[in-house]
Structure formats: structure tokens, C-alpha cells
Structure 1
Amino acid sequence: MTLDIETPAGPARARLKTRPLALDTFRENVVVLSRDCVAMRPERLAGQRKVEIRAGGRTYLAAPMICDEPSVVAADEIGLPEPLLHRLGALAGTWVEVAPARAAETLDEVRAKVMGETLSADAYMAIARDLADHRLSDIEVAAFLVACAGFMTADETLDFTRAMVAVGDRLDWDHRLVVDKHCIGGVPGNRTSLVVTPIIAAHGLLMPKTSSRAITSPAGTADTMEVLARVDLSAEEMRAVVEQCGACVAWSGRMNLSPADDVLISVERPLSIDTPEQMVASILSKKIAAGSRHLVLDVPVGPSAKIRDRRAALKLKKLFEYVGGRLGLSLEVLITEALQPIGRGVGPVLEARDVRAVLACDPDAPADLREKSIRLAGRVLEADPALMGGKGEARARELLDSGAAGRKMDEIIAAQGPSPISSGLGDLVHEVRAHRDGVVSSVDCLRIATLARLAGAPTDPGAGLDLLAKMGTRVRAGQPLYRLYASEPSDFGFAVEAADRDSGVSLAA
């Protein structure tokens, strides 16, 4: 791409030549300037000052780093790490405009939210725009998230959801009915979407399934699907897969669908923040932007799930219905029981194994994953006006048992392309054993998820936990309750130590 930028011989504004740097700064926009920079004095950038870079009609703010080594960046150059280089679309040696930046105007709104104020729809639109343009630092985003977690009204949630949809792209499908299914998470192994999606597509409904990566869990839908196929699809590639197969299972981060949400998730993940209001705004903005018109939402409730009691579930259900209804989305919220993990595997590779077993109608496939998937698929199919009322679940079971859903999943996998990651399990294995005879009385979802994450999931797809005994199983002293898998010795050590302190599995006499 050739940048439409004037050379230094032109007028006024300071310009520097781009120099690509083999650095990954993740979400953060960072630039590297020489101590002898000809465009501005480094001392002007002390403290919280940022740099504004303009190129090809695009403008970004970035945190500056000062370099004393001329071989890294010269006085007339600006070093651009890979993320910012990609966002600018700049080539090496092209000229970009550079200046000290004003603070993002929405910092006043962020501060107001920190002080407990209710923000206007215009304020949320401005915040969403600054988030999408990467104009806020991780610290500023974290302050906004924590402030919203403390106080956010239903109308604010609606305004923010609407704003997040507006600042990104929006897919439009030439189809009478576009459906989707989503789970709010909190239950390890609950990979029903990977069974529901091919069932729906095999029936003939359109289901452009997009998913974020895990925020607080050991695997998200996109993390598990990536074991089977490529999920890093562009919007054009996603459309081609859906038009060919009737469905896809893609990572939403590559597409410009609610891009403000991707920024929020990148900060939520290390902080393990997932509040009801942010959850509603995140899920619904992505679904609406992806073109969904009918959504079945699974809200699992259990003593160690994300939502602990029915009262909290009903409150969340009402918020989803209020925001979804005001934005024109047909929404059905199902409150489901979550007393223990679903399936056996926890972690991308292990969860993909369970999904494959269910789609292949393997007699040894996890029955709970199979039956819950059929129930949820049945609810989605009820949206089809051509299907007799009450027949959705029977139709879902038929499509699964006949092999049609499995064949459809193979078709989707082939269309999306081969997975770029390994599908092997970690080679470090530890068995957690029963300390006495007894019956498994409870399996703590949160603890199991924590142990799998300590083992390295989802960053290491082969890490995780394989459950060998679930609630109601009678075990003998020394019998394995589950196996931990990891690839990195440090992760493995943390997980084993934590499992020895608290296995997450309780036994009754």
C-alpha cells in the first residue's frame, strides 16, 4: 500500500520514515523514537504523553518508547511494531505525520463513570469509537471496565451495545432467517455450539457463528474449533463459507464486527472481569453485527458456575431481553442447570475430542454434552416456520443420529481450511486420585477451570484436564479422578501443586 503522505520537502507538519520492528505489542499501540528524533524532543513526551500518527487517512495514538541505539531507529525514523504497522497499512520507508497527541477526549467520560455518574448515549458512542480506534491505553480501558462493573443502568447497557455495533461493520445476509446460539460460559467443557451449529446447517437454516476466544475459561468456542479448522477468517472468507455450507464457526477478532468489544475483551481476559452488563453488551453487539436475527442464549446456573443462583439468572435474562428487544433481535433465554462440567475434556484439544465423538455418534461420547446440544439445537430449530411446533428437538436428534450433522461439520471444516495449531495433548501428565473410598458428590466448575488454565489452557491447546469420574460415580481409594495435561514444566508444576491443595472433587461416603 502506498501512503498518500507528502514528503519532508512539503509544508509544516513533522514527518518521520517508518521502520518496521519485529516486536509484538499485542493490543497496545507503541512506537519507538530516537533520543535524537528530528520531529520532536523526547522530553516533551515524559509522563503520560502519547504520539499521534497519521497515514493514509488513518490516525492512531501510541505510547512512545525512546531508543538510544541508532541501529534500531534513526533520528528521522519512527519504529513501528507489528500491530500498529498492520493497522496503519504502512510500508517500510514511507513517510507518516507525527505529533504529540492530546489526551483522548473521552477520558472525561471515563473519569465521570469512575465517579459513579450515568453517561449519555453520545458519551458511549464516543467511548466505543475511541476503543475501536485504539485511542485508550489498557490502564484507561481497565478503569472504564471497573467503573462500569460498579454501576451501569439497563439504558446505559443498551446505549453502549448500540454504540459498539455502530462503530464496526455489520453483515447483511440475503436470507429470511438468520439464527445463532450462544452460551454465557462458566461451565468447563460446555462446547454445545460446535454440535448445535452443524445440526442447524444440516437442517437448512443459516447460522453464521462467530465467537470470541476464552476470557475467563480454559477454552472458548473459537479456541476449540481451531483444533479442528482455521478460525481466523476475514469477513469475506466467513461469508464464502456460510454461503457454501450454511454455517461457520469463526473467531470474531479478525472481522471488524463490534471492534470495541475486542479491545474490552483483551483487557477483561487478564483481569478476569466479566460483569453482567459488559456480558450483555459484548454478546449482543457481536450477534447483531454478524447479522443474526434470532438468538437462543444458554445461561447455565449452578453453585460453582458463573451465575450461582436463579435470582441472578433471572435478572440477567431480563437485561438480555430488554437490550435485545430494543435492538430488534428475537431472543430466547434458557436457564439451564450447571452442577458440574459438561463432557469429559476441559481445554481445547480435549473438548474437540468430545465434540468429534458426539458428532460421530460414538457410543462412548459424553451423554450430557450430546443431550444438552440436542435440546439447544431443538430450541433454535423451533424458529423455522416450516417446522411443526414442538418438533425441534426430535428434528435435531434425527440430524445427529443420521450422521447428517457430522457430515455438515466435515464440510464446514474443509471450507474453513486446515487448523494452524497442533491437535496433540501435552506430554506432561499427572493423575489426581481419590484419597479414600466414596461417591463423587460434587465437581467444582470454577476450580476445575482454574486448574486447566494453570496447566496452560487455552494458550496451550493441548493443556487441560480429562475428567474420569463425575457426580454419582463410586470410586476406590487411589482411583484416578482426572488427568492433568500440560506442555510447559512451569505450568505443569503450578497445576499439580494447586490440584494437590484442592482437587475440586468432593467425595461422600
Structure 2
Amino acid sequence: MRGAGLPRRSDPGVRPPAVLHARRLGIDTSGEHVAYLRADCAVCRSEGFGTRARIALRCGARDLVATVNVVLSALLEEGEVGLSETAWAALGVLPGQAVELAHADSPHSLAAVRAKLLGARLGAQAAAAIVGDICAGRYADIDTAAFIAACAGRRMDLAEATGLTRAMSAAGQQLHWNRPVVVDKHCVGGLPGNRTTLLVVPIVAACGLLIPKTSSRAITSPAGSADVMETLAPVALDLAMMKAVVEREGGCIAWGGAVSLSPADDRLIRVERPLGLDSEGLLVASVLSKKIAAGASHVLIDIPVGPTAKVRSAQAAARLAARLAGVGAALGLSVATLASDGAQPVGRGIGPALEARDVLAVLQGDPAAPADLRQRALLLAAMVLEMGGKAGPGQGLALAESVLAGGAAWRKFQAICAAQGGMRTPPQARYTEVLAAAHGGRVLAIDNGRVAQLAKLAGAPAAPAAGLELHVRLGSAVDAGQALLTVHAESPGELAYAIAYAQSQAQLVRIGRPGSPGAGRSARI
């Protein structure tokens, strides 16, 4: 990587780079490339490498930029450089192999980030340069965080969001289909259990439309669509396999990270979510860049709206919908949006395997399947079918219902699973515990954020069988001692941790006492 700081070996009069021997430390740095150096290392001292410094590393034909962490213990031997798991994999190094080190040049695009922080507009060329440096690994996490902060809130106008979307979609691999109409759908998130993708894709594909769906893994939620699908079939498809599945079955449900359609988005999300910053511009670029790279011509975006959802008001939903449609139109993508009910979780299961069981129940026509999940999926599928020209205006719902009720969607889902590597049975948790109502009354509110947090504390999504089942809905009448939810976990410790959290959250499931608008403790064991 010329410009990262490492000189060419043939450059005359240039001091050769320092050399240390690689050691794999087995440290997960959540995707950031980190190099570990002893404080008393001669190279560290002579080159002035300190904590948080950026250094260029080269091994053979591969190179990368990493952040330095200084080791004060005997973790490393003299003459060694330790590497995080992501740095080790990216550099392709073997234990003890020689690694060249040099100071990394500061990316020129950081000037545009600093200017944006100070209120300047982000031009299309600057956006492309920033995206290129992020994809190349030249940005430290703190640099990426600065860019996210510069774009936070509503600090990006339509032209800026369009330029960033174009740059992000062009940075990765591109899919092209020999079809005039290629459809897709997406949900902006914030609603636990809203696993409509696994229903919409087989319904739409069974009707003859092409729907190459890539989905995300969970970042801060208890399950992403890719996590749920992975309990039923493989999702880590490469580009060639994804194309083969779609050409054979008309659709797929694959993990987007494996096909690298928008690599900058993966890096931005990794840093953005822990910051808790909401940016319309980045959200629009994230969603639409992946759809454009996947070759879609028509996209439906689900925007759940509710007091504890990601989008809290009808005004905010309308503003986001206008931004999505505007950027899409500027880039040749037809975008439709649906502001849906986000007042409570969807379905019963929260967590990969539990959500997968809800999906299977709907596909198989189980009378006990969650009615809300079924209806949301049918509505979204109907809109996609009408967008794609398979149904006339107002006729999509009847077509979607017939495909689901007649079993064609279930058969198509099985075929997609088989094409992706084979269908499997979702796992079941070893430990469960029921939380019951402390008193009778009516369910007044269910907090989406607290429900998601409870499922994560139980082990989801890392433990696919973990999570929770909801037994009540908004407006449900409950008696004292009636089950509100069941927590599922893979270990007694995680179960106890989750239960303790649930008992401390009075607003998790808020129940009004008869004759009173208030509520007491939400749950007890």
C-alpha cells in the first residue's frame, strides 16, 4: 500500500524499515487492526512508536495500517510484535515471520472530516476519498468516529447523502442481473422480532420476481436477519454462490458481510453503534448503497414508528422517507417506504432460534403462528409485488396471501435453504425461566429497548438459542401470577443475569392496575 508509510525496498537513500517477528496474541479487537509492542522494544523506542500511534506493517506482498498498544508486561519477547486477530488474518502472517514496521502516513481525506466537523459541506470527491481510506483500513477507529460525529443528526443534506451513497456503493463488489426489475426490501430496525425478510423473500420469489436479499448480523440487537436465517441454513455465501442461488431460486437470504457489497458500511456500523449517534445521512447511505451494489431497481423500506423504536414520531418517519426516496431517485433507484407500527415487538420470539421458529410457524400455516408477524410480512410482500409489476394496484395482498396459504412460499423457502447449503433445525436453549405478572391489570406498554437488552443479557445472538418469548401483547388482560415472558439461555449464569435485569426493570412490561392508569412492578419470578 504505497503511501501508508512503508518505503519501497528499491528506493535509494531511504533507511530500511524496522523488522520484528510476528506473534499471534489471540485478542479480539472487534475488527480494529492493533499491533502490540513492548515498551522497552528497541524499535518502539527508536521509532517513537507510542500508544495509539498508527504504524504501517508489511509481510511479503501484504500490508496494512494498525494502531499501536504498548505492552508493559512480559506478554511479548524482545524482538516480537503482537497482532490482534483481525490484523493477523489481514496480514496473512505465520508465527515468527518477519514483519516490517514504519510510521503510517496520515490520510489526506482526514482534512475533509475536520472541515465537516467545523460545518463545511462534504463534496462528492471528499466523500469518495473518505470511503476509500476507510475501506483500505487507513482510518483508526477514532478517525472513523470523528467522521460519524461530523455526519450526526441532520448535518448532511440531500446532495451530501447522495454523494456518500454513490461512493459507498462503488467501493465494493457489484452484482448485475439480466432483468429489468430486481426488487429488495429493508427495515431500518429498532423493533425486536420483526423478522419479515424470511417471509417476504420466499413469497416474492415464488411469484417470479428476483429478490437478492443480503442481511446484516446483529450489532447491538438480539438478532439480525442473517443470524436468524443462519439457524435454518448457511448465510456466509460468496458472490459466486449468491448469484447461483438467486439465478436458481429467484431469491436468497445471505449475510451481506460475506459478499462485501458495501465494505465501508461494515466498518462504519462497527464504530457507529456503540457511539449511539443517529444520523439520517449515514443511515440512508448504509441502506441504499447495499441495495444499489446488489443490483436492485426497486426497494421497499419498512420504517417502524413507536415511542421506544428507532424512529419515534410520524414527522421523523416522513423526513427519513423523503430522504430515502430523494437519494434513491438521484441514483436511479425506485424507493417506496412504509411507516409501520413500532409500538411493541413483533411475534413471540426474540433471539435467532426463537425468531426462526416464529417464521417457520407462519410459513407452515400453523394456526398458533404469530398473527402480527404474518400480517406485517403479507403487507410488505404485497407492496413489493405491486412495485415489481406482479400485481396491480391493490391486488398484491390477495396474491401474497394465496402464495402463503397455498404452501408455495414454504416450498420456495425450503428450496432457497437447500440451495444455500441445506436446511437445518433451530437449536433449543438448555435453560428457561418464566417471569410472571406481580399483579393483575392490562398491558399498557412493552419497551422495545428493554426487551432487546433482556434477550442480549440471556446470550443472544452469540448463543443462537438464547433470548425470550413474549406471552402478552399491548392491551392484554393479565392476572397476578400469569406468565409475561419466558427467558431462554444456554448457561445458568446468563439466565440468572438476565432474570436479575428483568426484575429491576419496572417498565419492561408495564401493567396498569384495574381502575388505575398507573402500574406497579412489571414482573416477578
> Is TM more than 0.5 here?
yes
For normalisation by structure 1, the TM-score amounts to 0.90
Superposed CA offset, 1:26-56 (max 9, x none):
3111234567878775551124422112456
What percentage of aligned pairs have identical amino acids?
A: 46
Which residue of structure 2 aligns with residue 340 of structure 1?
A: 344
Distance in 1, matches of 2:462 and 2:183, equals: 30
Alignment of 1:289-300 (within 5 A): 289-300=293-304
Q: Which residue of 1 aligns with 2:4?
A: none
Flag the 1:489–1:144 CA change in 2: closer, same or farther, 3 A.
farther
Q: What SS does the aligned partner of 1:343 have?
A: coil
For 1:497, what is the secondary structure of its paired residue? Answer: helix
* Structure 2: distance between partners of 1:419 and 1:40: 52
1:464-479 equivalence runs, <5 A: 464-479=467-482
CA contact (8 A) 1:18 1:90 kept: no
Comparing 318-327 with 20-29, greater Cα deviation is found at 20-29
Q: Within 5 A, what are the aligned runs for 1:197-208?
A: 197-208=201-212
In 2, distance between residues paired with 1:316 and 1:181?
A: 16
Q: Residue 443 in 1 paired to residue 432 in 2?
A: no
**Aligned match of 2:387:** 383
**Structure 2 match to 1:132:** 135
Distance change >3 Å, CA 492–CA 103, structure 1 → 2:
farther
Q: Residues of 1 paired with 2:273 and 2:173: CA distance? A: 24
Cα offset for 1:128? 0.7
3-state DSSP of counterpart to 2:311: coil
Q: How many residue pairs are counted as aligned between the two chains?
A: 501
Q: Is the 8 A contact 2:52 2:68 kept in 1?
A: no
Is 1:454 aligned to 2:457, yes or no? yes
Cα displacement (A) at 1:490? 4.7
2:226 to 209, 222, 226: 222
Q: Post-superposition shift, 1:333?
A: 0.7
**Secondary structure in structure 2 of the residue aligned to 1:371:** helix
Match of 2:159 in 1: 155
Q: Which amino acid aligns with 2:239?
A: A
CA distance in structure 1 between the aligned counterparts of 2:53 and 2:66, rounded to whole angstroms: 9
Shift of 1:204: 1.3
The alpha carbon displacement at 1:386 in A equals 5.0
1:233-312 matches, within 5 Å, as 233-312=237-316
Among 319, 325, 347, the alignment partner of 1:321 is 325
Do the aligned partners of 2:19 and 2:100 also contact (CA within 8 Å) in 1? yes
TM-score for the superposition, normalised by structure 2: 0.88
Alignment match, 1:144:
147
Residue of 182, 205, 217 corresponding to 1:213: 217
Change (3 A) 1:73 1:288: farther
The one-letter code matched in structure 1 to 2:335 is L
TM-fit CA distance, 1:125: 1.1
Query: Which shows bigger deviation, 355-364 or 490-499?
Result: 490-499
Alignment-derived partner of residue 188 in structure 2:
184
- Give 1:121's aligned residue: 124
Q: Distance in 2 between matches of 1:113 and 1:457?
A: 37
Question: Could you tell me which residue of structure 1 aligns to residue 523 of structure 2?
Answer: none
2:398 to 390, 394, 411: 394
3-state SS of the aligned residue for 2:86? helix
In 1, the alpha carbon distance for the partners of 2:482 and 2:106 equals 60
Q: Is the 8 A contact 2:116 2:122 kept in 1?
A: yes
4+ residue segments displaced more than 6 Å: 34-40, 67-71
Paired AA for residue 103 in structure 1 = S
After superposition, the CA RMSD in angstroms is: 2.7
Q: Report how far residue 440 of structure 1 moved.
A: 1.8
Alignment of 1:232 onto 2:236: yes
Could you tell me how far 1:146 is from its partner in structure 2?
2.3
Conservation of the 8 A alpha-carbon contact between 1:35 and 1:42: no
**Secondary structure at the counterpart of residue 295 of structure 1:** strand
Q: 1:26 to 1:416 in 2, by over 3 A?
A: same
Deviation, 1:243, is 1.7
Structure 1 residue 305, shift from structure 2 partner = 1.4
Deviation at 1:439, TM superposition (A): 2.1
State how far apart, in whole Å, the 2-side matches of 1:426 and 1:269 are. 28
Taking the aligned partners of 2:465 and 2:293, their CA distance within structure 1 comes to 32
The change in CA–CA distance for 1:486 and 1:117 in structure 2 (over 3 A counts) is farther
In 2, distance between residues paired with 1:229 and 1:74?
47
8 Å contact kept, 1:16–1:78: no
**Who is 2:502 aligned against?**
499
Alpha carbons 1:32, 1:73 under 8 Å: kept: no
Counterpart amino acid of residue 251 in structure 1:
W
Moved more, 332-341 or 289-298: 332-341
* CA displacement 1:253-281 (0-9 Å, x = unmatched): 12221101000111123334443222111
Equivalent residue, structure 1, for 2:518: none
Compared CA separation, residues 426 and 46, structure 1 to 2 (3 A): same
CA distance in 1, matches of 2:42, 2:9: 17
Decide whether aligned partners of structure 1 residues 42 and 157 sit closer, same or farther in structure 2, where only a CA change above 3 A counts: farther
Deviation at 1:336, TM superposition (A): 1.3
Inter-CA distance 177–94: structure 2 relative to 1 (3 Å threshold): farther
Query: Post-superposition shift, 1:475?
Result: 1.3
Say whether the 8 Å CA contact 1:468–1:481 is kept in structure 2.
yes
- 1:86 — aligned with what? 89
Offset at 1:291? 1.1
State the partner residue of 1:434: 437
Q: Distance in 2 between matches of 1:36 and 1:418?
A: 53
Give unmatched runs, 5+ long, in structure 1. Answer: none
Letter of the aligned partner of 1:100 in structure 2?
H
Say which is worse superposed, 136-145 or 20-29, in terms of deviation: 20-29
CA displacement 1:389-410 (0-9 Å, x = unmatched): 4322111111111111111111
Indicate if the aligned counterparts of 2:22 and 2:99 stay in contact, CA closer than 8 A: no
Q: Distance between the aligned counterparts of 1:149 and 1:364, measured in 2? A: 43
What does residue 354 of structure 2 align with?
350
Counterpart residue identity of residue 345, structure 2: P
Provide the C-alpha distance between the structure 2 equivalents of 1:470 and 1:228, rounded to a whole number of angstroms: 27
Aligned in 2, Cα 1:118/1:188: closer, same or farther, shift over 3 Å?
A: same
* Amino acid in the other structure paired with 1:372: R
Q: 1:14 Cα shift?
A: 2.5
- State the alpha-carbon separation in 2 of the partners of residues 57 and 172 from structure 1: 31
- Any unmatched runs of 5+ in structure 2? 1-7, 515-525
User: Could you tell me which residue of structure 1 aligns to residue 54 of structure 2?
Assistant: 50
Amino acid across the alignment from 1:204: G
Which residue pairs with 2:104 in the alignment? 101
Aligned partner letter, 2:292: I
Give the partner amino acid of 2:116: K
Secondary structure at the aligned position of 2:89 is classed as: helix
Aligned residue for 1:45, secondary structure, equals coil
